[in-house]
Amino acid sequence: MSSACDCPPTPETYQARDFKSDLKPIWCPGCGDYGVVTAIYRALAAIKRPPHEIAFISGIGCSSRIPGYTTAYGFNTVHGRALPIAQGIKMANPDLLVLAAGGDGDGFSIGGGHVPHAIRRNLNITYIVMDNQIYGLTKGQLSPTTPRGTKTSSSAYGSMENPMNPLLFVLACGAGFVAQGVPADMDGLAKMIEAAIRYPGFAFVNIQSPCVTFGSADTQMKVQKASMKKLEAEGHDTSNRLRAMELAQDYGKTLYTGIFYRNPEPPPTYDSLIQKLQADMAPKATA
């Protein structure tokens, strides 16, 4: 994995526990988000950036509680607005390692309009979406990724809407790094998040994080572990964007995990261009 990004090597050694706050999670027992936050701790320890150099931004929802469970700087924003705030923080302080987190409803419903613009600007941030195909915090309504026919508290006769495909959506918008993981594969998920953080540009990680209270039985972790197909094991070429889009079309049918696409020639990031412009416009020292 490339080390080029906001992750300069440091002499310090960090453990996963160094990024774990004293605030105890209040998710339902067995929630997939416990595994997600643990994978994030491991990824941050591997990156070797101290907590005070990291900013973690979230929206509203069960998964958006994550910043409070870390020792990094955290900002729990309003529903669907994690990405605008994360972009503003990155532009204000480009030296910070910035991550954003939210759920499928937060990211692809009210916040859906922000996703393509964050991708096209290509700031060096990592966006982690916990996709459980349901609105868990507000008692089990259907979400943008809920499969057609699913009965929920807001679709008693089964959803009549086509679900969104977050993987295909971000690939079509031009994201340079797109991956999908599950908490049932802790080691793979931690390495995937680490790779996303190391990617020099906007990186998207979709995590199928089961909701044990309102989610369907076929999304739970035991089922995921038995049914997931690792892209690396299948010899997938992560530089092949068209193949990545073909695989992404199986979202909701085949549980592929791993990196779908990583741009082998990342374009300049928005924040690096700002820094270059500022340097070019700065008064020149005279002898």
Q: What is the pLDDT of residues 51-101, one digit of tens each?
A: 999 999 999 888 889 999 999 999 989 888 999 999 999 999 999 999 999
- Assigned domain for 284 exists: no
Region of poorest pLDDT, from 6-10, 47-51, 111-115, 206-210: 6-10
- Assigned domain for 197 exists: yes
Output b/e per residue, 231-255; b: 16+ Cβ within 10 A: beeeebebeebeebbebbeebeeeb
Percent of all residues in the chain with a pLDDT value above 90, rounded to a whole number: 68
Angle subtended by helix axes 270-281 and 82-92, to nearest 10: 30
Angle subtended by helix axes 114-121 and 82-92, to nearest 10: 30
Return the higher-pLDDT residue of 239 and 158: 239
Confidence of residue 143 (pLDDT cuts 50, 70, 90): confident
Let me know: does 97 contact 6? Beta carbons within 8 Å.
yes
- Assigned domain for 103 exists: yes
The pLDDT score that the predictor gives to residue 9 is 52
**What single letter denotes the amino acid at residue 144?**
P
Mean pLDDT of 237-246: 98
pLDDT at 266 over 80: yes
- Report the number of distinct structural domains present in the chain: 1
- Assigned domain for 165 exists: yes
Return the higher-pLDDT residue of 150 and 82: 82
First to last CA, the chain: 43
Phi/psi of residue 116, nearest 5 degrees: -60, -30
Rounded Cα gap, residues 63 and 207, in angstroms: 11
The pLDDT score that the predictor gives to residue 46 is 96
The pLDDT score that the predictor gives to residue 71 is 96
Residue with tokens 């700065």: 282
What's the predicted TM-score (pTM) here?
Answer: 0.91
The pLDDT score that the predictor gives to residue 224 is 83
pLDDT at 140 over 80: no
* 281 exposure class (CB count in 10 Å sphere: 0-12, 13-18, 19+): exposed
pLDDT at 3 over 60: no
- Assigned domain for 12 exists: no
The pLDDT score that the predictor gives to residue 5 is 61
pLDDT at 159 over 90: no
Nearest to 58 by CA among 122, 111, 133, 135: 111
Confidence of residue 230 (pLDDT cuts 50, 70, 90): very high
Confidence of residue 2 (pLDDT cuts 50, 70, 90): very low
- Assigned domain for 9 exists: no
Q: Cα dihedral sign for 71, 75, 80, 86? A: negative
Which helix (H) or strand (E) is 243 found in, with range?
A: helix 241-248
pLDDT at 180 over 90: yes
- Assigned domain for 3 exists: no
- Assigned domain for 8 exists: no
80 contact partners, CB below 8 Å, separation of at least 6: 59, 60, 102, 106, 107, 109, 110, 111, 112, 114
Q: CATH no. for residue 78?
A: 3.40.50.970
Tokens standing for residue 169: 């959506």
The pLDDT score that the predictor gives to residue 208 is 93
Which residue segment(s) compose the domain that 237 sits in? Answer: 27-278
